[in-house]
Amino acid sequence: MRRSRWIGVGLTVSALVLSGCSAGPAGTNVQQDTKAPLELWTRTTPGGPAEKATRRLADAFEKATGYQVQVTAIFDDFETKLAQRAAQRDLPDLVMNDVTQMGTLHSQGLLREIELGKLKHVPELTEQAVKSGKTGDGKQFGLPFSAQASALLIRKDWREKVGMGVPQSWADLVALGKAFTTGDPDGNGKNDTAGLSATLSTTRGYASWYFSNFLWAGGGDFVADAGDGKFKPAMSTPESIAATQWFRDLGCKENVIQPGSVTMATPATNETFEAGKAGMYVVGPYLLPRFDKSLGKDKYEVVPMPKAAKNADVLAEGGSTYLMAGSPNQAGQDAFADFSISAEGQQIGMEGDSGFIVQLPVNKNVDITKVRADPRWKTYADIYQSSGHYAPSVPNWTPVRQATADTVSALVADCRLDLKAELAKLDTKLAATLKQQGVGAS
């Protein structure tokens, strides 16, 4: 039987509306019990390697601290099931999910603030990791336990066949993409290869997620920090326009993006690269085990993404531990969050050749070369440290990502659209979204 909780929460999901029940901050009127088992939800496939890795971390935490943890893996309809539990006033104690979910969870009143002073391992965290868990007002509502950044994967055997070097600039990337598209790099005598595998579906905002690597590498941005916790739309700036035009030309002018990209989410683009239908792919390190098995480590290489602007960045993301409101064991919540970022917790999360839950460590005391001998992981770690760029800390990033995905996907799908006009329309939408969230610059 699940325990009953009276939490202060305001949530509107799938027409569910639950008004606040607590006289104070979320969960402050819940009687505390340090012996109460902790219920942990993780967004991953039930029975899969990542669930097993989460259980290893939970078991080690139990052994080290004495707190009990019950792990539940959910992938399909995770958000809906969490909303249902919120409506029942019975949230899990802990949630491990994407960094980008913080704004949504916080705006719905489902999180309690993390008191960093209570966690002894916080000084060991990278500055980037700590910052990515803060809201616009500087409060900590997420504690990242894993990081990742994007790199450029290239079919090394194809590159050597067409006699070209590793791209050092956007012009080099275009040239290599055209060679992969027209030079029959797989040697089958057919015109059936593309230069770049790109995820440009509007589903869950994938097009924006993928394009962000190129937008930030070109010096542009979706929204700009206007100071005092305010933001303004930035897709109509000269840098953003230039980056968007260049990326659009990959499909509309250079024809190096795989056919059907605007309807493809990540599963399809993953398959495009590993099936030998595209020679380059911009993605995080989590696919290395899969591609090593399907392609072979000797067939592809991992290199930094070429940039077109000084101090340019690429997408950084990862997973965070969230302390859910209404827990009767807040001491246990704090202890688990702290253990997840400790050197011991990080190394446990990185164990195994697949299914690990820590991609790149967020603890500065963990040397990735000591845990993973493969130098490609060091490449990813260096990219994260030097140019990893998290999504801005607006209250809810999801509508921003969706609106930008709709526009980017449409611009690649229809090459006749007026790019500047479409980006101006997008900025109008972004301005309204930011205003609605209370962070729009006047």
pLDDT in tens, 390-420: 998 888 899 999 999 999 999 999 999 999 9
Over residues 125-150, the mean pLDDT reads: 93
Instruction: Give how far the C-alpha of residue 130 lies from the chain's centroid of Cα atoms, to the nearest Å.
Output: 15
| pLDDT category of residue 316 using cuts at 50, 70 and 90 | very high
Give start and end residues of each alpha helix (H) in 307-374.
Answer: 330-341, 343-349, 368-371
| pLDDT given for residue 115 in this prediction | 97
DSSP assignment, residue 304?
P
| pLDDT given for residue 309 in this prediction | 87
| pLDDT given for residue 353 in this prediction | 79
pLDDT in tens, 267-304: 999 999 999 999 999 999 999 999 999 999 999 999 99
Quote the CA–CA distance of 13 and 303 in Å, as a whole number.
41
Q: How many residues does the chain have?
A: 442
User: What domains sit in the chain, N to C, each tagged with a CATH number?
Assistant: 11-149+317-389 (3.40.190.10), 151-315+394-436 (3.40.190.10)
- pLDDT of 8 > 70? The answer is no
Closest CA to 38 of 81, 68, 79: 68
Quote the CA–CA distance of 386 and 313 in Å, as a whole number.
8
